[in-house]
Amino acid sequence: MNALDLFSGAGGLSEGFWQEGFNIVAHVEKEKWMCETLKTREIYHYLKGKRESGSNESLDLYYRYLKSGATYREIEEARAPIYKKYPELKTIINTSVICKAFGDPNKESDTHSFSEICSDIYRAKEIHCSKEIDVVIGGPPCQAYSVIARHVQKRNQDDIKVNLYSYYLQILNEFKPKMFVFENVVGLLSMNNGEIIRKIKSAFETEGYILLRLDNGTIRENVFNATYFGVCQNRKRVILIGIRKDIVKKLETAGKTLNFDFSKYRIYEFQSESEFTTQSAIGDLPELQAGENEDHLLYEYMDRQPNDLTNFQKLMRMDSIGVINHKARPNIERDKNIYRLFIKKIYKRYCDLPSDLKTHLKQDIFEDRFRVHFAHEIPHTIVAHISRDGHFNIHYDINQCRSLTVREAARIQSFPDNYKFEGPRTAQFVQVGNAVPPLMAQTIARAIKEKLKEIEEL
């Protein structure tokens, strides 16, 4: 089954589909470092496939790449031994990862025309020997739809980013997949008093797709919390799933149900021995002090017996030889003093801090400036703002007294430990904060796969 990933980001959505056996024909993503992360992940899945075919050396090449400690300036040099062993791989990943932005190049110099990007996708299809695209996945950049962005920047429906979904529609028209998955922030539902989501839904119908009802009996249709899919994080997202109208008619004729009850696909059943808490997600990772470690070096796990690990931690460690992207931000003493006060729960709001610890005049805006991921609570939502500072993502351990590392944030997002984020640390944080949690994506992929199998049987 073939998938096309649009607005891919760091690949959280496609990772879930990979785990369910989908062939990701192409990723379309405009950001350089996200594309490098996608290429590294393409390498991993290619080499993993070779191992499953009987080549024991394959994943060792990937592990050697992780051990190299290659910085973002040394990526190609570090990948060279892999390309030497598998020269076809360089062509595959450079074709499959399309590092371009949709737009009108006559108006925006850093964009590419729809026809140019389509040509790139057709080349990717050819190199993957894929006759058709079964499912299109992805969602336009969510910042334009977020409530905060609308408040601070006062964007409107004419904003270019708001209308990026039109390119998603054009891709559906061009490749006519059997199904699609459109993911975005909950703010999309309230934007312009619901006008944008109504416009999007109507446009999908016009393109020849029926939106399926997604119902688990507990939360409102199309809005899902990542915790429902086995992710240790409170993270709500809008999920729209569509299926081509001609296929709908065939399914109805065959007496097949058109809607999804995601309770059938819940991954959390495999991890139910532990609660969804920050400690159960990241408590096994190496302890650090502020400023400790380096961004791209691989570090050994803390010495733990298998019985001391939660099932979630075991899952994250699978096919991993250590911890990467585990560099702690340096913190000034004032910030560390504030962290201690919040970890101890002496203060809960920025405005309540002693005056000598406050630096902002508009205290009401920064009421939640500092927030702890407490050990025995479900982590709150990881967002891209973590790239600016770590104050909203404080580690629960007062002895470490620091903000989360990229790896800890990635764990909370359910990225496996062998998933390397490329680029400077700021770019790594953005990638993690903007991502779809892979375990959430895997559950969606499982539902899509079952529906596609029903379609094949018609």
Distance between CA atoms of residues 451 and 436, nearest Å = 21
Half-sphere exposure of 376 (CA within 13 A, CB side): 0
Q: Which amino acid appears at position 314 of this protein?
A: K
Q: Which two tokens stand for residue 191?
A: 């934007």
Catalytic residue among 35, 99, 142, 232: 142
Q: Which two tokens stand for residue 333?
A: 């003493």
In this structure, how many other beta carbons lie within 10 angstroms of the beta carbon of residue 152? 10
Distance between CA atoms of residues 98 and 44, nearest Å = 18
Q: Are the beta carbons of 370 and 350 closer than 8 angstroms?
A: yes
Q: Known catalytic residue: 232?
A: no
132: region left, alpha or beta (phi > 0 left; psi from -120 to 50 alpha): beta
CA distances (Å), origin 257, targets 86, 215, 356, 450 = 44, 13, 62, 12
Beta carbons within 8 Å of 149's beta carbon, 6+ residues apart: 143, 155, 187
Q: Which residues are catalytic?
A: 142
